[in-house]
Amino acid sequence: MTGLSSIHSVPVEQIATATLSVETAGEGFFEITRDVARFLKKINARDGVLFLYLRHTSASLVIQENADPDVRTDLVTALKRVAPANAGWVHEVEGPDDMPAHIKAALTQTQLCIPVDNGKPMLGTWQGIHLFEHRAAPHRRELVLHLIGE
Amino acid sequence: MTGLSSIHSVPVEQIATATLSVETAGEGFFEITRDVARFLKKINARDGVLFLYLRHTSASLVIQENADPDVRTDLVTALKRVAPANAGWVHEVEGPDDMPAHIKAALTQTQLCIPVDNGKPMLGTWQGIHLFEHRAAPHRRELVLHLIGE
Amino acid sequence: MTGLSSIHSVPVEQIATATLSVETAGEGFFEITRDVARFLKKINARDGVLFLYLRHTSASLVIQENADPDVRTDLVTALKRVAPANAGWVHEVEGPDDMPAHIKAALTQTQLCIPVDNGKPMLGTWQGIHLFEHRAAPHRRELVLHLIGE
């Protein structure tokens, strides 16, 4: 059973954009939900669709639970099992975490789109927006943010 | 060899939005292609881009074959192999299907964007839009739909 | 530590669209970055968001390193390990590469959105846009491109 409701329209007026840099501390999740909220506030966003784009191939974007940190621990474990180090990869230029990082990025997201209502991202109760660093060493990562709407 | 064709433009006029609730019967695929078509019809959509966003972390969105149901059976099996229950996960608050559900959601999509032409989603011949429930028990899932276009 | 910068807005004016066909030579990556750049040039794109949509369920879209070809070789290997042929799949209508292709497509992307600045996709230094063919035989694949912006 499905139900469709709350249908309404607003005029499209602007595309607002910004870059966001995130310094990671090595492999793991770095929540950026607050940074995204800050961007929406700065541009006085109302309704629209928000786009996030990560300019890297060894880190990714994931919307996942931000309540119990065990979820993120297990996600790191799960991806390690799918893309282990020293598993006969040809590409090892930057060390044993190099190729696994590319695989983990390919299996998650480089880009996200999130609905915005009254200036706030319409995340579910347990959803947080995360940058997922796949390299062992700390990195500086760059994102591009866009809001299309009013 | 690649070919670029049918280039044209339309003015952007509106963002139309709605929420869609879907009641799942536990793990598996629930096709929502018709619900999406119904939304496009209700707002008298013509050309644009459609955005779907799922407000949950233990279910996901997948565009996959809707002809042979065996494909969906095998997809459930494949994800179960990548994220099995009782595999030493730390997060087991809601039972053995809890953490595997988060992993399966992270490896598929929380959001989709689909082109719309003359009021219809430009799906390929074999493509259906599915909500992929990863929890064992039935759940009520909420989606946000947006059309940017005319 | 995070940093938000370069915030600015432009009016939304048009949605430009086109179809792109790509002939693949069987399993592997086919870079379409130049085709995308050609589309942006033809429509005189300036700022906006670009959407790519693949109308198939046994191929996918991946933004990944286009410098060292070993990365793409290893990605093919990694996906083969996650979704091997002859692994007890029910759906084998079109041969042993049929169901693995659907799984690989479900674990990567059917659609992408990429920011555009001054007519150019804001890809990172090492990022290329690829069509990832999962079937063993050559196929003709069709994409839909949209630019929302000015």
Contact A17 C47 (CB under 8 A): yes
Which subunits have 3 or more CB–CB pairs within 8 Å of chain A?
B, C
Smallest CA–CA distance, residue A103 to chain C, in Å, is 6
List of residues 6+ apart from C107 with CB closer than 8 A: A107, B107, B108, C79, C82, C83
B84 close to B101: Cβ distance less than 8 angstroms: no
Phi, psi of C9, rounded to the nearest 5 degrees: -130, 150
- ipTM over cut 0.90: yes
pLDDT at A3: 82
pLDDT tens for chain A, 150 residues long, are 678 777 777 777 789 999 999 999 999 999 999 999 999 999 999 999 999 999 999 999 999 999 999 999 999 999 999 999 999 999 999 999 999 999 999 999 999 999 999 999 999 999 999 999 999 999 999 999 999 988
Number of DSSP helices (H) and strands (E) in chain A, helices first? 3, 9
C127-133 β-sheet, strand order: C28-31, C127-133, C59-65
Q: Which helix (H) or strand (E) covers residue C36, if one does?
A: helix C33-42
A99 interaction partners in chain C (CB closer than 8 Å) = 71, 74
A23 interaction partners in chain C (CB closer than 8 Å) = 1-2
Q: Give the global pTM.
A: 0.96
- Any A CB within 8 A of C7 CB: yes
pLDDT tens for chain C, 150 residues long, are 678 777 777 777 789 999 999 999 999 999 999 999 999 999 999 999 999 999 999 999 999 999 999 999 999 999 999 999 999 999 999 999 999 999 999 999 999 999 999 999 999 999 999 999 999 999 999 999 999 988
Phi, psi of A102, rounded to the nearest 5 degrees: -65, -40
State how far the Cα of B60 lies from the Cα of B79, in Å rounded to an integer: 12
Contact C15 B9 (CB under 8 A): yes
B22 interaction partners in chain A (CB closer than 8 Å) = 1-2
pLDDT at A13: 78
Virtual torsion, Cα C126, C130, C134, C137, nearest 10 deg? -120
Which site among B15, B60, B79 would you substitute to test the A interface, given the most A Cβ atoms closer than 10 Å to its Cβ? B15
C40 interaction partners in chain B (CB closer than 8 Å) = none
Choose among A3, A63, A115: nearest Cβ to B146. Answer: A115
Smallest CA–CA distance, residue B44 to chain A, in Å, is 11
State both tokens at A1. Answer: 């059973």
State how far the Cα of A148 lies from the Cα of B16, in Å rounded to an integer: 12
Nearest CA in chain A to C62: A106
Classify residue B42 by its DSSP letter.
Answer: H
Could you identify the residue written with the tokens 């369920």?
C57
- Any A CB within 8 A of B25 CB: no
Smallest CA–CA distance, residue C18 to chain B, in Å, is 4
In sequence order, what are the beta bridge partners of B149? Answer: B14, B48
Choose among B19, B43, B51: nearest Cβ to A113. Answer: B51
Q: Which helix (H) or strand (E) covers residue C14, if one does?
A: strand C14-23
State how far the Cα of C103 lies from the Cα of C84, in Å rounded to an integer: 10
Burial class (CB in 10 A: 0-12, 13-18, 19+), B120: middle
pLDDT tens digits, C89-114? 999 999 999 999 999 999 999 999 99
B35 interaction partners in chain A (CB closer than 8 Å) = 2, 4
pLDDT at B1: 67
